[in-house]
A and B are shown apart, each in its own frame.
Chain A
Amino acid sequence: MKYQSQKVAKPYFIAALALFVGQIVFGLIAGLQYLHGTFLFPELPFDVTRMSHTNLLIVWLLMTFMGAAYFIVPEEAQTELYSPRLALVTFWVFLIAAALTIVAYLFVDYAHLAAITGNAILPTMGRGYLEQPLPTKIGIVLVALSLLFNVTMTLIKGRKTSINLILVGSLWGLALLFLPAFYFPHDTVKASYAWWWVVHGWVEGDWELILGALLGFILIKMTGVDREIVEKWLYIIVAMTLISGLIGIGHHYYYTGAPSYWIWLGSIFSALEPIPFILLIAFSFKMLLQRRREHPNKAAMLWALGTPIMAFLGAGLWGFMITLAPAQYYMHGTNFTAAHGHLAFFGAYAMISLAIISYAMPLLRGRTANSAAAQRWEIAGFWIMVLSMLGIALALTGAGIVTVILQRAADDPMPFMQVQDKARVFFWVREFAGVGFFIGLLVYLRSFFIAGEYEYASEMKQALAA
C-alpha cells in the first residue's frame, strides 16, 4: 500500500464479505423452500427469500467494486484519494441503506412497501434484481455519484494509466446503466427490453471492463510484467466484450415480444461473447509464464487465475449452451438459466471480488502476504467453494434437462409443478452442494483470523528441506 487514503477500502471489503454470508444464507433458505414449500411460510415467502439473496449479491459485489476503486485508483494515479472522508461517509450511507432495505423486505409486505415508498408515483418495483423501493434506488444513485466524483477527481490530478481509465470509465458506465431502473414503461414488452439494458448491460458489458481492470491491476502487481503488454491485452479484451455484447443483447429478445430479426442478430453476436473470456484465460496465463517475480501471496494468485477459468465456464460455456435461438426455445426460463446465472456470477464477479480482496487485504493490514497457515485456509476455501459451485451448476443443469424433456419438448407435455416433482433429486443435490459452498465460505473466512504475516526465511527453509 503506497498511499494512506487507500485504507478506506478496508471497511468496504469487510462489509462485502459480511453481506456475502447473508447472500448465501438466503440462498440456502430458498433452496430448501424449493424442496419443502412450507418452510418459513408465510413469514418468509419464496420471493422475499429470493430478492434478499439476489440483492445481497449485487450489493456485496458493488461494495467490492467500490472498495477496489478506492484502493486502485490512487495507487495507479500515484496520488492520494481526492477525499477519503467522503469515501468513508459514502460507505456508511451505502451499508445502512442496504441493511434497511433487506430489513424492509423481511418485515414489510412487498405491496405495502411499494405503497409507502411512492411506487405509485414513479413505479420501479417488481422487476428482477431491481426490486428495491424508490428511496433505495435514489440512494444508490447518490452513492454512485459520490464514488464517481471522488475517483474522477483523483484521476484528474494524477497519472492517467489505461487501467485507471478503463476502471473509472466503467464505473461511469455502471452508474449510467443503472438509470433505466427508473424507466418502467407500461408496455410489458418494452419494459422487458429496457430491463436488459441494466442486467445484460452490466454483466455482459460494463462489468467485464471492471473485471478486466481489476485482473490487469492484480497481475501487474503480482507478476511484475510490463504495463504496456498488460494494457494492450486489456484493450483487446474489452473491445471484444463490446463488439460481441452490444448486439449480443439480442439473445434476450427472441421470445419476449421483440421483432424476429433479433433471432438472427442475437444468435450471431452472442455466440461471439465467449471470446473475451477465452482471451482473459490466455492473457492471465501468459502473464503468469512471463512473471518476473514470485509474489508470496499464493492465494491471491490462485483467485486471479481461477477467475478467468470459472468465468469462461459459467459465462462462456454455460452461456453459449442457452444462447442460440433454437436451443433457447426449449431452455428459456428454466433452471438452465439459473445454472448459468450461478456459475457466471460466481466465476466472474464473485471470484474477481475475492481476488482483489485477497490481494489487497493483507496490504491493508500492513503485510505483503498472510502467513502460510492463513493462506492454506484461504486456498482450501477457494477449492471448496469452486467445486461446490460446479456442483450447484450441474444440479441445476440436471433440473433444466428434466424440464426440457418432460415439459418443453414432450409430445404430451407435463404440467410445471409435476415436472418440478420429477426434478426433486437435482434440487436436493443443489442444496447439499449449497451447504458445501457455505462450509467453503466459512473456511475461507477463517483464514482472516489466523494471525501473522508471511515469513520469507522460514518458508524458504521449509522449501529447501522438502
Chain B
Amino acid sequence: MQQVFTKAMARNIFLGGAVFFLAIYLALSYDTWQRIPERDHADKMTSAVLRGKYLLDSNDCIGCHTVNGEGAYFAPELANVYKRRGPVFIKAWIEAQPTGVPGRRQMPNFHFTQNQLDDLVAYLQWLSNIDTNNWPPNIQG
C-alpha cells in the first residue's frame, strides 16, 4: 500500500480534483448568471428598487432579519414581508419603531424620509417576486 500509493499520487489527485471541479463550478456559474435575471425579474430593478436596496444594506437590516433565509435569526424574514404585510403596514411599522415595549426585541428608528420609505417598499416588493423554488414554505417566512 505504502509503495503502491505514493505521496505524489495523492498530491496529483488533490491538484487534478481542484482544477477539474473548479472548472465545472465556473461553467455552472456562467450558466447561472445567464438565468438569474429571468428568475428575479432583473428588468424590474428600477432606480427606486436600487435605492431601496442601498438603504437596506447601509442600515444593516440583515444584522437582525433574514432575506431569503440569509442574515440573522433575531427578526422576521424580509423577502416576503411585502406579501405578508403590504406596503402601508410596512411603512407605518418602520416609522413607529422602536416599540419600547419592556423586554420585547427592539428595532431602531432609522429616520427615513417618505421618499426613502417608498424606495424601501419598492425593493421589498421586488424581492418578494424572486423565483426561490417555492421557499419559504408559507407566508410566515
Contact = CB atoms under 8 A, between A and B. Distances in A.
Interface of A: 33-34, 36-38, 41-42, 45-48, 50-51, 110-111, 114-115, 119-120, 123, 125-128, 131, 162, 184, 186-190, 192-193, 195, 228-229, 231-232, 235-236, 238-239, 242-243, 246-247, 249, 253-263, 265, 329-330, 332-335, 337-338, 407-410, 413-417, 420
A110 B59 contact: yes
A332 B138 contact: no
A189 to B, nearest CB: 5
B39 A187 contact: no
A128 B71 contact: yes
Interface string B24-59: 110011011101110110100100001001101111
16 contacts: A46-B106, A51-B63, A110-B60, A110-B63, A114-B58, A119-B58, A127-B57, A186-B53, A189-B39, A239-B13, A246-B24, A247-B24, A257-B39, A258-B39, A333-B71, A417-B76
Interface residues of B, number: 72
A162 B110 CA distance: 53
Nearest to A233: B10
B72 A47 contact: yes
Contacts of A409: 137
Contact of B137 (A42, A231, A408): A408
Nearest to A414: B140
Q: By CB atoms of chain A within 10 A, which of B75, B130, B140, B141 has the most?
A: B140
B21 A48 contact: no
A233 to B, nearest CB: 8
B106 A37 contact: yes
B13 to A, nearest CB: 5
Contacts of B10: 232, 235-236, 239
Nearest to B21: A246
B62 A128 contact: yes
A159 to B, nearest CB: 15
B133 A126 contact: no
Given A38-B106, A125-B58, A190-B33, A162 B11 contact: yes
Contacts of B57: 123, 125-127, 184
A203 B135 CA distance: 25
B140 A41 contact: no
Given A254-B135, A259-B39, A246 B64 contact: no
Given A42-B98, A258-B32, A243 B21 contact: yes
Chain A interface, DSSP helix/strand/loop, else mixed: helix
Interface string B53-86: 1101111111110111111111111000000000
Contacts of B32: 193, 253, 258-259, 262
Contacts of B24: 246-247
Contacts of B133: 254-255, 260, 263
A48 B105 CA distance: 14
A50 B7 CA distance: 44
B18 interface: yes
B139 A413 contact: yes
Contacts of B68: 188, 192, 255-257, 333
A189 B63 contact: no
Contact of B64 (A46, A114, A127, A192): A46
Contacts of B105: 33-34, 37, 46, 417, 420
Given A114-B58, A409-B137, A47 B13 contact: no
A162 B7 contact: yes
B22 A246 contact: yes
Interface of B: 2, 5-7, 10-11, 13-14, 17-18, 21-22, 24-25, 28-29, 31-33, 35-37, 39-40, 42, 45, 50, 53-54, 56-64, 66-77, 98, 100-106, 108, 110, 127, 130-133, 135-141
B101 to A, nearest CB: 8
B138 A413 contact: yes
B36 A37 contact: no
A259 B31 contact: yes
A229 B56 CA distance: 52
Given A126-B61, A188-B130, A255-B135, 13 more contacts: A47-B64, A48-B63, A50-B74, A119-B58, A128-B63, A187-B42, A253-B32, A255-B136, A257-B130, A259-B32, A263-B133, A413-B138, A415-B76
A246 B11 CA distance: 17
Between A195, A256, A413, the greatest number of chain B beta carbons within 10 A of the residue's beta carbon is seen for A256
A242 B5 CA distance: 20
B7 A255 contact: no
Nearest to B12: A235
A38 B97 CA distance: 13
Contacts of A123: 54, 57-58
Contacts of B2: 229
Contacts of B106: 37-38, 41-42, 45-46
Given A111-B110, A239-B17, A246-B25, A415 B64 contact: no
A408 B64 CA distance: 19
A257 B67 CA distance: 11
Nearest to A194: B29
Contacts of A263: 133
Contacts of A115: 58
A37 B103 CA distance: 5
Contacts of B13: 235-236, 239
A416 B75 contact: yes
Nearest to A35: B103
B73 A335 contact: yes
A255 B69 contact: yes
B49 to A, nearest CB: 9
